[in-house]
Amino acid sequence: MIKNERVVVAMSGGVDSSVAAYLLKNQGYEVIGISLKLWDGEGLSHKVGRTCCSFEDIRDASLVCSKLEIPFYSFNYSENFREKVVDRFAEEYFAGRTPNPCVLCNHHVKFDQLFYEAKKLGASYLATGHYARIEKNEEGNFKLLKGIDASKDQSYVLFQLGQEHLSRLLFPVGMYTKAEIRKIAEENGLPTADKAESQDICFIPNRDHADFLEKHFKEKIPGIGNFIDRSGKILGAHKGYHAYTVGQRRGLGIGFGTRTYVVEIKPKTNEVVLGIASDLLSQGLLAVDVSWVSNLSFSEPIHCGVKIRYQKTEIPAQIFYDQKTRQAHVNFNQPSGAVAPGQAVVFYQGDQVLGGGFITRAQYEI
Amino acid sequence: MRFYFDYNATTPLCEKARQAFTQHIDLMNPSSVHTEGRRAKELIEKARGKVSGYLDCDADQILWTSGTTESNNHLFTSLAQTPNSRKKIITTTVEHDAVLKPLENLEKKGFIIKKISVDRHGKLDWENFHHELDDQTLLVSVMLANNETGIIFPFERIILEAHQKGALVHTDAACAVGKIPLFFKKWDLDFLSFSAHKFYGPKGVGGLLVKKDLTHPLLFGGPQERGLRAGTENVPGIIATAEAIRFSYENLEKENQRLVTLRNLLKNGIQAIDFKAVFHEAIEAQLPGTFNVGFSDVQGQTLVTRLDLEGVASSVGSACYSGTMQISRVLREMGISQDEARGSLRFSFGRFTTEEEVKGLLDILRKILPEMSP
């Protein structure tokens, strides 16, 4: 079966994108593997945990392509990455928010550059190893759906993709479970079959974002500030607001007898507000830069499920969208915890991703 | 059909070198006292003699190494260990990393490294060179020809001026040996590094020419190379190197004229394509087989990739550890803008390149460039 169509597969050096390339080759596509080298900072030298574009990862991607007898290239986009992801990641923390760098990277670097390279290489499609699915309906509209494997679903980080993107994208592994993907890799002798999952932020392999900011953005570090309670009473000293995220419980270095959480970060005064679990509960949130996967209009308010963090279960909510400002008020059906400004909120209807935006603040009262 | 236009990365092996290598792959240890050992020893010494003839040096002035990178490291490390009140080393901003990285390492050990810049035609900033060159200068290390642009430095002048101040002179000649005539003794050079795989020989072998003294070994552990380079010699590699250097210098003048014709064919052909191109080359001396061109509106790394898919091997800047392409540091140092450097790539060619291949390359460029414009 020869499809005679060229497809560029974005290879991370992990098992998922390896199998994606394998599956497409089997489907008869002319497959080209590419990797983007995004980060070449010193994160590479302390080898703690796995990273996403290290020497080993690019080598592994290359070995997989050799095994599959397809061409492989790696492109250097570290400049763009530093500016559009790392700098922005830092800015967000210094603004008291909690960014998701993978969402930033997908939106500002990865997909743009991958589509650019795919086009210049004469490819009809770009494919990635994300656990998500794309479906075309009768009207010719593309739907973005969750991956079959609920525990691995990555549709959350893809919510900014629009019709134009989806029409040229393939997610070959979205139809499989992780276990099946590993099995395919093993059965076909792909060198990445046993490779461990990458869980970390690629440029912070030791998972300590505060340490990273202190090393790379020294001049912006706020210094020691105060923990306060909701009423403004000083509870003790903290090491600078950049080191905390909303919902954080561990590593506060302060004990109050009850379980204490970060409930708010106030960058202007370098204050971190602490409270108990119920203080984190909010009625909803305000999201900005809202985008929709499909141009279909929905009757308002939209009743759907929302995810306010990558690893969090969906909660039912109503969405009130203002097209002019591209803002959305999201009202939870039940009060919900740990809305972190800076994170993405993604709207789901069943398996389908409707769209999403970025959280600017929690709403405690409606 | 594939077209190979990456001779500066490595040249194809010439037939004579291939034969020499394969025929001598099972020679015994040259350090052994028996007949077999002596035979191996004899052949590597003969090779030393042959190579010296082409580089205008004495056989004993050649130290076999694994190639230019080792030669450079050996020289710099040895100098750093030799007591000397002079602490300054002058180099250029467009050297290969095989010079710059070991020098940066010396900087940590108290040496002062001064990098002289070049203009957009690769011409050395002589004013700055004179300003830096003083009686504290231990060494001047300048490449003979640049690997990315093929621009040749005016070496006799550099040597003369450096020696007037009592400084030693080293050249990384990886890109020059086999391509231009070299005169180690006549020019009065102190050190020269080279690699065989840049002149149709095998990879993993090269040498360091030493005028008088190299005091310290880099590798310890045996008496080879007068105790300066321990480890059993790369016997077939060394023998093949002698064949390769002879091949590369055969009828050199005529060959270089042929390469100039190919270069002009390529340049005129590219100029005739309706796509904005800039040529990064010298006004004066230039290796004819190194051709660096910048295209607007397209990324060099993307073009190299597309060319590979079409059957052409070319390169952008120098490849980093994982084969990931980098924007050319050399072009940036020449004052070429980031955007222009980003769209640049190198075609390098030599002895086996034919007119048909250049025409084939032009056909492919004519086909893909319009497809790649934004």
**Within this chain, domains A6-129+171-187 and A280-363 share the same CATH topology:** no
**Confidence at A38, pLDDT banded by 50, 70, 90:** confident
Q: Per residue in B231-250, pLDDT tens? A: 999 999 999 999 999 999 99
Question: Class of the A6-129+171-187 domain?
Answer: alpha beta
Q: Are residues B302 and A59, on separate chains, in Cβ contact within 8 Å?
A: no
Task: Give the pLDDT score at B337.
Answer: 86
CATH superfamily of A222-276: Adenine nucleotide alpha hydrolases-like domains (2.30.30.280)
Q: How far does A55 lie from chain B, in Å, by closest CA?
A: 6
What does the pLDDT read at residue A296?
Answer: 63
Predicted local distance difference test score (pLDDT) of residue A43: 43
Q: What distance in Å separates the CA atoms of residue B151 and residue B333, rounded to the nearest whole number?
A: 14
Q: Does A58 touch chain B (CB under 8 A)?
A: yes
Interface contact A122-B302, CB threshold 8 A: no
Q: What architecture (CATH level 2) is domain B3-11+251-372?
A: Alpha-Beta Complex (3.90)
Give B 293-352 residues with CB within 8 A of chain A: 298-299, 301-303, 305-306, 308-309, 320-327
Evaluate whether B3-11+251-372 and B15-249 have a shared fold: no
What are the domain boundaries of chain A? 6-129+171-187, 222-276, 280-363
Find the mean pLDDT for residues B119-141.
Answer: 95
Would the pLDDT of B323 be above 70? no
What pLDDT shows up at residue A345? 96
3-state DSSP of chain B: CCEECECCCCCCCCHHHHHHHHHCCCCCCCCCCCHHHHHHHHHHHHHHHHHHHHHCCCHHHEEEECCHHHHHHHHHHHHHHCCCCCCEEEEECCCCHHHHHHHHHHHHCCCEEEEECECCCCCECHHHHHHHCCCCEEEEECCCECCCCCEECCHHHHHHHHHHCCCEEEEECCCCCCCCCCCCCCCCCCEEEEEHHHCCCCCCCEEEEECCCCCCCCECCCCCHHHCECCCCCHHHHHHHHHHHHHHHCCHHHHHHHHHHHHHHHHHHHHHCCCCEEECCCCCCECCCEEEEEECCCCHHHHHHHHHHHCEECECCCCCCCCCCCCCHHHHHCCCCHHHHHCEEEEECCCCCCHHHHHHHHHHHHHHHHHHCC
Q: According to CATH, what is the number of the domain A280-363?
A: 2.40.30.10
> May I ask the CATH architecture of the domain B15-249?
3-Layer(aba) Sandwich (3.40)
**Bridge-based pairing state of the strands A282-292 and B62-65:** unpaired
Q: What is the pLDDT of residue A199?
A: 66
Give the domain ranges of chain B.
3-11+251-372, 15-249
- For chain B, give the percent of residues with pLDDT over 90: 83
* pLDDT for A366 beyond 60: no
| Min Cα–Cα distance to chain A from B300, Å | 10
What residue in A sits closest to B374 (Cα-Cα)?
A120
B14 is catalytic: no
Q: Tell me the pLDDT of chain A averaged across its residues.
A: 89
Confidence of residue A50 (pLDDT cuts 50, 70, 90): very low
Q: Which of residues 61-80 of A touch B (CB under 8 A)?
A: 62, 71, 73-76, 79
Tell me the per-residue pLDDT of A63-83, one tens digit each, with 9 for 90 and over: 999 999 999 998 888 888 888
| Tokens matching residue A285 | 């949130």
Chain B residues with CB under 8 Å of A73 CB are 301, 305, 308
Q: Which of A291-305, A318-332, B63-77, B304-318 has the lowest mean pLDDT?
A: A291-305
Tell me the per-residue pLDDT of A301-323, one tens digit each, with 9 for 90 and over: 889 999 998 878 899 999 999 98
Q: What is the pLDDT of residues A193-250, one digit of tens each?
A: 988 877 678 888 778 889 999 988 999 999 899 999 989 999 989 999 999 988 888 8
- For residue A198, the model assigns a pLDDT of 72
Which residues on A lie below 8 Å from B344 (Cβ)?
Answer: none
Give mean pLDDT, residues B13-25.
98
pLDDT bracket for residue B299 (50, 70, 90): confident
Residue B73 has pLDDT above 50, yes or no: yes
